[in-house]
Amino acid sequence: MDGKTITTTLFTNGKIFLSGVAPGTNAGLHRPPTFASSILIRGSKIQHVGSESDEPIATALAQSVTVRDLQGKTVLPGFVDGHMHLMLLGQSLTKLDLGKCKSLDDIQATIRAHAAANPDVERILCRGWMHSMTFPKQVACADLDGLDVSGKDRPILIDTKDLHSAWLNTAGIKELGADRWADVPGGTIERDEATGKVSGVFHEAANITYVWPYLAKVATMEQRTDAIMAAVTAYHAAGYTGMIDMAMDQGSWDALQEALIKSAGKVPMRIAAYWLVKPGETAADNLKQVERAVELAREYNSKTTPDCRIVGVKVICDGIIDACTAGLSEPYSHNAHTEVPLWTAEQLEPVVKRATEAGLQVALHAIGDETIRVVVDVLSRFAKPELRPRVEHIELASEADAKRLGEFGITSSIQPVHADPAILRAWPKLLGEHRCKRAFPYRDFADGGSPLALGSDAPTAPHSPLGNVYVSTTRRSYRELEYETVVNGHFALGLCEAVAAGTEGAAYSCFDEGRIGRLEKGLKADFVVVDMEWEREKLVEANVVETWFDGERVYAAAAAAETE
């Protein structure tokens, strides 16, 4: 667009979604949405939502306007992913996916074939390993050595599906210098019991501190900006027009700025980011990282760069249940091991205080019930509700803590795709049946008045927003549709409620509800056209037909025939 011609487009004969509730409130289990039939777009904004007989639409029809017959299709606000990892997603799109492997043999065969087919890449980067694929074997570098059949013995680096751990071959250990790495707080460097040498597997903070930055560093700027744009394109196709990056660091931020320059200032995505604060040796180390976020937020905020801004800090306060790294109030059932949170309340306090004092939002990753208890304690004492503090994941929460979220105005940032029954098969063994009854208690969060924000945590999970809504409303598997297990069905969200949580809820979670997240006059024309039936069981058949950003179509499914 040259900026002078302002186009007006009228979409008629559709089902234009209206949640009927104010941003920051939940629609409840049974409340249905209302649907308007027409939406009028002028330039980058929504000019009217209603019916064809409404005055603004009648006026537009009498003038020059492009009319699009939606033929009964549904229009939803552009989805905003409430929690994802932009650079990792972009990079993962080019990594070898091991997600379908069932055993170590499978993994080895897949890598061997990939190495043979790609003799020119510098490193063999893989994703999607799950501990359950190789359990109970303690894997090590030796299991990956010799798989590079090209004869070059290239480094092999594998991410777990959840991205919390990495597994390297001997060439990888050598290239990264991992045998010289010192232990870091909150992380584990696995070592051979007999020799003390690094085994090639790195967990949590060890992975975040060493492996992530290394990979970010060796990627060229071009590879990084390409990764960002690939992620944006994939997100358009899924129906997103906004995303919240939940672990921004300098390398990704630089690449994002570069991508903006390359695209003449316009990456077609509303991006808000939380700066990752890694566990330092001292409180001063931690505060230094908060100061960096404060500094960046001063420059990049809703006034200066509304589509690419720093909104807060993120702290990863525990790991995950499957790796037995989530902090629990009682020991894990299978090995009687008690895991504590990665950050104590005393360590968190100065970080939360300083961020709050500087007007930044605080996002705390907490999965196990003990960690959730600690972070809700800290947020309720040192964060301000008006800054919309948030807890990420909240997978195993006690009834009392679920209730406290709403009481203190804490956003529940949830990723229903992590509640997929197909990936929870180990939980009864790890936690015992009794504790599984408190898994993913979304209904409690919502009924307690905690604002909900839906996210995917991509690339750790599939990023389809409608898949996310499917799991949250049916509590059934989106990965394995035939798998009939329902996980705690009484914690389900309502359909209108879940769609709102993935649009206006996620926008509200980062103070963007005045611009995006709803289909309402004056807001940005960010929306998706979806071929769907308004029924939770039918969501898996829904198709995103078009995605519009800022009044322009940025994605059209190949099958969608132009009608005008």
Residue ranges in contact with Zn ion by CB under 5 A? 246, 457
- Would you call the peptide bond into 459 cis, given omega within 30 degrees of 0 as the criterion? yes
Q: Note whether 154 and 124 are within 8 A (CB).
A: yes
Q: How far is the CB of 59 from Zn ion (least distance, A)?
A: 47
Closer residue to Zn ion in complex, CB, 393/443:
393
Q: How far is the CB of 521 from Zn ion (least distance, A)?
A: 34
- Would you call the peptide bond into 416 cis, given omega within 30 degrees of 0 as the criterion? no
Residue 473 identity (one-letter amino acid): T
Q: How far is the CB of 163 from Zn ion (least distance, A)?
A: 7
What residues pair up with 524 in beta bridges, in sequence order? Answer: 45
Handedness of CA 448, 449, 453, 454 (dihedral sign): positive
- Around 43, how many Cα atoms within 13 Å sit in the side-chain half-sphere? 9
Maximal CA-CA distance, the chain:
83
Q: How far is the CB of 345 from Zn ion (least distance, A)?
A: 22
Closer residue to Zn ion in complex, CB, 204/457:
457
Instruction: Return the SS3 of 347.
Output: helix
Q: How far is the CB of 356 from Zn ion (least distance, A)?
A: 22
128 vs 249: CA distance, rounded Å: 22
Helices 345-357 and 283-299 cross at an angle (nearest 10°) of 20
Closer residue to Zn ion in complex, CB, 388/463:
463
Closer residue to Zn ion in complex, CB, 127/518:
127
Closer residue to Zn ion in complex, CB, 84/206:
84
Shortest Cβ contact with Zn ion: which residue?
457
Q: Note whether 74 and 530 are within 8 A (CB).
A: yes
Q: Note whether 356 and 382 are within 8 A (CB).
A: yes
Closer residue to Zn ion in complex, CB, 371/474:
371
Alpha carbon 386 to its chain's center: 23
H or E stretch including 258? Answer: helix 250-262
Q: How far is the CB of 439 from Zn ion (least distance, A)?
A: 18
Q: How far is the CB of 357 from Zn ion (least distance, A)?
A: 26
- The residues, any chain, with a CB within 8 Å of residue 433's CB and separated by 6 or more, are none
Rg (CA), the chain: 23
Q: How far is the CB of 293 from Zn ion (least distance, A)?
A: 17
Q: How far is the CB of 246 from Zn ion (least distance, A)?
A: 5
Q: Note whether 83 and 456 are within 8 A (CB).
A: yes
Closer residue to Zn ion in complex, CB, 88/144:
88
What residues pair up with 81 in beta bridges, in sequence order? Answer: 243
Q: How far is the CB of 160 from Zn ion (least distance, A)?
A: 13
Q: How far is the CB of 442 from Zn ion (least distance, A)?
A: 18
Closer residue to Zn ion in complex, CB, 401/457:
457
Closer residue to Zn ion in complex, CB, 370/457:
457
- The residues, any chain, with a CB within 8 Å of residue 415's CB and separated by 6 or more, are 83, 393, 454, 455, 456, 457, 461, 468
Residue 236 identity (one-letter amino acid): H
Closer residue to Zn ion in complex, CB, 245/546:
245
Q: Which of 455, 447, 452, 430 is nearest to 491 (CA)?
A: 447
Closer residue to Zn ion in complex, CB, 457/504:
457
H or E stretch including 97? Answer: strand 96-97
Alpha carbon 395 to its chain's center: 15
